[in-house]
């Protein structure tokens, strides 16, 4: 199951031990590690990426769930990202594009207080024991959440509801007098604009999901090629 993983540590040394543990679990085949980063939280609520993954494009795609998660952990002051040395500040990231509920972000941020560090990763794991055992031994607090597609269903239902309202307004307009027709037309135009905006967002989310899927394939291919080269 694809999951977002955040492990919070009290200091930087422990965070890098956590990163190393994830890489070892990936090498052992206990998990598939798609992307990871170590970040530190500052007193003003912003965060800095201390180290990024070296697996390829997924870690730098702001349109991915991973990129969005990094931004959301950065705090409430705008959004910018500069990997390795740059500062991150969340707030402008659309949480609906991250495939994770807001409660998960809140739980992590309650633990990721100023001067603490975290390892953020997107992984595929069949069971939680390997990661939990390694991280707890290092002193990490583990947060994980499955990447959900429920939001797509909810989004479709929302658009369908607006389209139903639009159809009722048009039916009402057909039977209204001239004055009422004009007022209804204004409402129809406004609702139609909202529907078109939602449909455009849906397209952007589908495109982002496709980019993320392609990036994951590239990560797995690169890892397979590396393993083959090592074995030969």
pLDDT digits (tens, 9 = 90+) for 36-88: 889 899 888 788 887 666 554 444 444 467 777 777 776 543 333 433 334 44
Enter the pTM of the model. Answer: 0.66
- Same domain? For 21 and 85 the reply is yes
Domain end, chosen from 112, 146, 180, is at: 146
> Residues 66-75: pLDDT tens digits?
777 777 776 5
From 64, 69, 22, 17, select the one nearest 47 (Cα to Cα): 69
How many domains does the chain fold into?
A: 2
Q: What is the largest CA-CA distance in the chain?
A: 81
Q: What angle do CA 87, 91, 96 make, to 5 degrees?
A: 120
- Judge if 155 and 130 occupy the same domain: no
Same-domain pairing of 122 and 188: no
Cα angle, residue 140 at apex, residues 138 and 142 outer, rounded to 5°:
135
End-to-end CA distance of the chain: 31
60 and 9 within one domain = yes
Q: pLDDT tens across 161-194, in order?
A: 888 888 988 998 899 898 888 888 988 998 899 8
Per-residue DSSP letter, 80: -
Q: Which residue segment(s) compose the domain that 205 sits in?
A: 150-231
Residue that finishes a domain, picked among 90, 111, 146:
146
Phi, psi of 4 (to 5 degrees): -95, 130
More confident residue, 71 or 134: 134
Residues 6+ apart with CB under 8 A from 164: none
The neighbouring-strand residues paired with 36 are 121
């Amino acid at each position: 199951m694809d999951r977002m993983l955040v492990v919070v540590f009290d200091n930087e040394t422990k965070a890098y031990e956590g990163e190393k543990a994830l890489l070892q679990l990936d090498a052992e085949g206990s998990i598939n590690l798609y992307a990871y980063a170590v970040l530190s939280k500052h007193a003003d609520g912003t965060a800095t990426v201390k180290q990024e993954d070296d697996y390829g494009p997924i870690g730098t795609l702001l349109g991915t769930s991973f990129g969005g998660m990094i931004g959301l952990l950065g705090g409430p002051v705008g959004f910018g990202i500069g990997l390795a040395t740059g500062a991150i500040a969340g707030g402008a990231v659309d949480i609906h594009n991250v495939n994770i509920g807001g409660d998960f972000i809140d739980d992590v941020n309650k633990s990721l207080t100023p001067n603490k560090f975290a390892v953020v990763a997107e992984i595929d794991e069949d069971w939680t024991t390997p990661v939990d055992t390694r991280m707890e031994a290092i002193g990490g607090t583990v947060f994980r959440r499955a990447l959900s597609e429920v939001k797509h269903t909810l989004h479709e239902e929302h658009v369908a509801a607006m389209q139903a309202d639009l159809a009722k307004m048009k039916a009402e307009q057909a039977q209204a007098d001239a004055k009422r027709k004009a007022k209804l037309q204004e409402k129809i135009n406004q609702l139609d604009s909202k529907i078109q905006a939602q449909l455009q967002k849906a397209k952007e989310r589908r495109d982002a999901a496709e980019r993320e899927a392609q990036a994951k394939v590239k990560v797995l291919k690169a890892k397979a090629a590396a393993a083959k080269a090592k074995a030969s």
